[in-house]
Amino acid sequence: MFLSRLPGERLILAALASILGAAAVPAPAAADPGDRLIVIEHFTSQGCDRCPPVDDMLRDLARWPDVLPLALHVDYWDYMGWRDRFALPENTERQMQYAPMTSRKRLFTPLLVVGGLDMAEGFQPMKVVDLIEKHRAVDPGVHLRVDREGDRLVIRAEAAEAFPAAADIVLVLFRPESTVEITHGENAGRVQTYTNVVTHWQEVTHWDGHAPLLVTLSAPDGDGAVFVQREGPGLILAAQRF
């Protein structure tokens, strides 16, 4: 696990909501599909007693139109008395790709990855705000649009210049909210609400940015997003909900 829980975590969460409210772009009446979207991946587990403050923080982050927090439940704490019903082995595999970029160089929870590049280890709301601001200030030069057209999902993208190496086009599906009563393990007795629980990952194709991208897929049910992400994984150059 990671870091002890802060006694004033609720006050800090309130401060986070206040800061985000001041910093975030107000929600437009109809969001432009070309607007930037900052992805925050939270590697979490129902069996981790340090995760609930960060799970709660995701709910605050999800209020803002240019931030997409995602809960990626991992399976490596399942042996500790409670099996996480949202855990996916592919979430653990994705975290393994990020692990060399962390201070510990291994798997642990909670871990947040902002924009595919920057880490917040444990409950660090002010650092998360700083990282959001950092990514808001950078324009990677990629325009992405994702549309449902009947039973098809159409992905279009253009880049200001070709990439040094091909980027990944990634499709992710998520459940906006789920509440779980945890009866065993480190969080026994807690009723926890999770935000944007990832249910599926799919690498759609690769794209070098040289020519415009056009990809058509069968439209999946429910909520999801598409990323353009440097290999590694690395910086998320663009992301859009659908």
What is the total count of domains within the chain? 1
The answer to whether position 4 is within a domain reads no
Q: What is the pLDDT of residues 162-207, one digit of tens each?
A: 999 999 999 999 999 999 999 999 999 999 999 999 999 999 999 9
Contacting residues for 158 by C-beta, under 8 A, at least 6 apart: 142, 143, 212, 213
CATH number at residue 87: 3.40.30.10
Q: What is the DSSP string of 82-136?
A: ---TT--HHHHHHHHHHGGGSSSSS--SSEEEETTTEEEESS-HHHHHHHHHHHH
Strand 38-44 relative to strand 67-73: parallel, antiparallel, unpaired?
parallel
Rounded CA-CA distance 182/185 in Å is 8
CB 50 within 8 A of CB 108: no
The answer to whether position 172 is within a domain reads yes
Report the predicted TM-score, pTM, of the whole model to 2 decimal places: 0.87
The boundaries of the domain holding residue 164 are 9-23+33-241
Q: What is the pLDDT of residues 207-240, one digit of tens each?
A: 999 999 999 999 999 999 999 999 989 999 999 9
The answer to whether position 28 is within a domain reads no
The answer to whether position 176 is within a domain reads yes
